[in-house]
Amino acid sequence: MKRLLLAVAALFTLVALAGAVGLPDLAGAQDVPEGDTITVTGVGSVEAVPNEAQMSFGVETRASTAKAAVAANADAMRRIINALRQARGREIATQWVSVYPVTNDMGAVDGYSASNSVSATADVDEAAALIDAAADAGANQISGPGLSSSNAEALYRQALGKAVAEARARAEVLAKAADRSLGEIASISESTATPYPYAERLQADSASTPIVPGEQETSASITVTFSLR
């Protein structure tokens, strides 16, 4: 009997100690819904004038035989490549080489045409000179420019930072409207984005080809989920 009384007394002592140290208030914890979140999107963008131009330069030659057409085309392309290098063109690379028969009105083979095209990159302020040099050297197929920034990655990171800031600002407005406050970021995902360039088209037959680069917009888009308090 004494042992039973001692056991009961010990049990009451344990319950009293638990209250003193403060067990979790389960009723209070249920007041805030578990997993309560808000998901928003954010878009950020920066603008910069591109400083690089990528262009294509080709030459087409014709001859009575495929061998003669290829030989004449090779000589013409060597002159173009040398002219591009002298005009400070860089990253020069062959894009394609083709040879095909040319037929007359009767459908008979009347010779062969050979084509060769190379790409080259130059600073925007040197692009016009590159075009003129290639045309003077015999290029009869010119296209471009594709404008870009040499610091494209840094520009994208700036846009990404603005996207995060916009997402948080949107989430704060929504949370306040719901009489809540933002907690930690639960998840964040990034969408790919491509810089959108603006530029005037090339005029390959111009004596001095004008290239006017406009501002290029680099944008980033993200989706963020915040927990709510």
My answer on whether 144 and 56 are in the same domain is yes
Give the Cβ contact number of residue 118 at 10 Å: 22
Q: The CATH number of the domain where 42 resides is what?
A: 3.30.110.170
Q: Which percentage of the chain shows pLDDT scores above 90?
A: 62
Q: For residue 213, what is the DSSP state?
A: B
DSSP string, 62-93: EESSHHHHHHHHHHHHHHHHHHHHHTT-EEEE
Residue 11 falls within a domain, yes or no? no
Q: Do 128 and 190 fall into the same domain?
A: no
Q: What is the pLDDT of residues 163-185, one digit of tens each?
A: 999 999 999 999 999 999 999 99
Q: How confident is the model at residue 197 (pLDDT cuts 50, 70, 90)?
A: low
- Whether the pTM exceeds 0.85: the reply is no
One domain, residues 62 and 132:
yes
Question: How far is the CA of 115 from the CAs of 42, 75, 94, 112, in angstroms?
Answer: 47, 12, 11, 10
Judge if 36 and 103 occupy the same domain: no
**Is there a domain that residue 5 lies in?**
no
Q: Note down the domain range covering 185.
A: 32-49+152-228
The answer to whether residues 71 and 129 belong to one domain is yes
Say how many domains are in the chain: 2
Together in a domain, 143 and 156: no
Shared domain check, 206 and 167: yes
